Copies of this chain bind each other. A is one copy, B any other.
């Protein structure tokens, strides 16, 4: 039921059409949640039936602009504050690490080096992004900034961990 809340959250910030929301999923939200067009339009229909959103305006080309309702806003608040986020339960990278015993130590170190290089690139990318954004103190940018900081710390953690892991393999296995 998370896509539902992602849509509610986006519409709580500003009303928009399915097309608008899709753009927002592809850009601002892309590192946090994704949705395909078919999923999105389907979910908009369900949310409207449940009266959590409503059509607030109609425009050219059949455009339907949706806005969140009071019931929707209350559902969003409930999700934010009352439901505990389930711990992430899937990590494909780590799954591979578990099975690295199946390849040679050299290959395992190669895998970790590549991953470390990727994380390093991400750190630089996010630092550049941060530098390029004009941060004011408005709410949306505050919380976006917290999320960006999370990304930077995550990427730095993975970069350092991968380096450490490759060194550990070398120390233990040669």
Contacts and interface: CB of A to CB of B under 8 A. Distances in A.
Interface in A79-111: 79-81, 84-103, 107-108, 110-111
B90 A103 contact: no
Contact of A32 (B2, B90, B103, B154): B90
A153 B161 contact: yes
A71 to B, nearest CB: 14
Q: How many copies does the complex hold?
A: 2
A157 interface: yes
Contacts of A102: 9, 12, 73, 76-77, 80
B95 A32 contact: yes
A111 B2 contact: no
A160 B108 CA distance: 30
Interface string A154-174: 100110110011001100110
9 contacts: A9-B98, A29-B95, A31-B87, A31-B89, A85-B92, A97-B150, A101-B139, A149-B165, A153-B157
Interface of A: 2, 5-6, 9, 12-13, 29-34, 73, 76-77, 79-81, 84-103, 107-108, 110-111, 114-115, 137, 139-140, 142-147, 149-150, 153-154, 157-158, 160-161, 164-165, 168-169, 172-173
